[in-house]
A = this chain, B = another copy of it.
Amino acid sequence: MTKQEKAAQILSDPRNQQEEIKALQDTIYVIGGKWKLPIINSLCNGNRRFRDIERSIPGITTRMLSRELKEMEANQLLKRTVTPNSPVLVEYTVTDYCQSFGDIILEMIKWGKKHREKIRTV
């Protein structure tokens, strides 16, 4: 790299890029893993009860669902409401804060469909 190139690189605001990468890594940290986005998606699709969510996500186990729900509740991505009727009713709903993942999830669903097409036709 010449001195000119070095100067150009420094001038292109690397600090900003570093911050963006860190923001990206933060998000990945919060919603990363196999299950969190599918759970949010399921909740957004109207599932509110434990077994309904479980049934709506192929492959998930009660253990993972339980853990993820707890963690996401702690991170204020969703809310757990208990109604103490004769059969106790437990319901999960996404918070506004979490709604903002809607767009990301939709994009990822689109991509996944395209990808399946591509795999199939190759």
A positions within 8 Å CB-CB of B:
12, 17-28, 30, 32-34, 37-38, 41-42, 45-46, 56-59, 97, 100-101, 103-105, 107-116, 118
Among candidates B19, B42, B107, residue contacting A21 with C-beta atoms closer than 8 Å? B42
Q: Would you call B114 and A28 a contact (CB within 8 A)? A: no
**Nearest-CB residue, chain B, relative to A45:** B17
Q: How many copies does the complex hold?
A: 2
- Given A23-B116, A58-B22, A100-B111 in contact, is the A32-B30 Cβ separation under 8 Å? no
With A23-B113, A32-B32 given, can you name 13 additional A-B contacts, CB distance below 8 Å? Answer: A18-B58, A23-B108, A23-B111, A23-B112, A24-B38, A24-B105, A25-B58, A26-B115, A27-B115, A32-B34, A100-B111, A103-B107, A104-B111
Q: How far is the CA of A26 from the CA of B105 in the complex (A)?
A: 12
